Amino acid sequence: MKVGIDSYSYHRFFGEVYPQQTPPPSRMTLEQFLQRAHEIGAEGVSLESCFLPSVDEEYLRSLRRLLDQYHLERVYAWGHPRGLEAGKNERAFQEMLASFRYADLLGAKVMRVVSSSRIYRAEPHSPQLERLKEWYRQAVPVAERYGIRFAVENHMDYTTDELLGLLEAVGSPSMGITFDFGNFVRLGEDPVEAMRKLGPFVYATHVKDLQVNPGVPPEEWYAYASVPIGDGLLDVPRLLQMLKDAGYTGLLAVEIDFLHPAYRNDEDAAVVQSVQRLKRIVADLA
């Protein structure tokens, strides 16, 4: 397993600032992010497609050369913020299919995809899941053509059992899971139990740790805010051991999505600490 960083950890620096946050002192380019990942000692990156300035072939090839120069494993992360919108957005589906080519141009062998988001949670799930099953079945031959596996994230949208149902209905090794350690907590599920069921199907990860965000109503997703790995509530070593036991050999991508206010808007320090701690945990695994 290689320790890396998801570019969403620097979302404020790419221009996505939540209303509860302050803008950063400066902006960051994707090239600067890759350089910083290299400086930190990351072994890979998960690149959020929403922060790509272009999907022009020439640009993606230049980005691939930089990734190769830094010897970075890579995941192409499609779908932020609402992905396929619970099977409602045909245009997004076509964009997802086109993204297999972009992932291929970057040299990625895994593509994270997003089915939905928490804003559709209250709507009936059965019709959503039926549409998604059909779209993911259609995505399989595209994935096979490029030799890329696509990994559906638990995006605060569907439960562990619902995700298992999607996998079983599609029934292809081209489709797996992006296991976000923190999003199960935000849905009221136990990530350890989720790992027991989904571990064999994990193709990508978002490794995060969480702490209660004081004063934030529990129905808000950021009521559990990101903290450096090891400072939070999650049993990250146990989850990583379970991943290893399940045969996972992919990227462990640190993700800081909403930094806890105690860390004073210093995502970079939180990422550095997380990468260092994660490397130590991985080195100690049985």
What is the pLDDT, as a whole number, of residue 286? 83
What is the pLDDT, as a whole number, of residue 12? 98
Residues 92-106 have a mean pLDDT of 98
Pairing mode, strands 110-113 and 73-77 = parallel
> Could you tell me the domains of the chain?
2-284 (3.20.20.150)
What is the C-alpha to C-alpha distance for residues 202 and 211, in angstroms, rounded to an integer? 24
Residues 48-67 have a mean pLDDT of 98
Tokens standing for residue 109: 């062998």
**Angstrom distances, CA of residue 124 to CA of 145, 159, 169, 199:** 34, 13, 18, 27
What is the C-alpha to C-alpha distance for residues 194 and 165, in angstroms, rounded to an integer? 13
Please write the tens of the pLDDT for every residue from 145-199: 999 999 999 999 999 999 999 999 999 999 999 999 999 999 999 999 999 999 9
DSSP H helices, 176-215, are 181-186, 191-198
What is the C-alpha to C-alpha distance for residues 60 and 74, in angstroms, rounded to an integer? 13
Residues 6 or more apart whose CB falls under 8 angstroms from that of 151 comprise: 75, 110, 111, 112, 113, 175, 176, 177, 178, 202, 203, 204
Please write the tens of the pLDDT for every residue from 14-37: 999 999 999 999 999 999 999 999
What is the pLDDT, as a whole number, of residue 44? 98
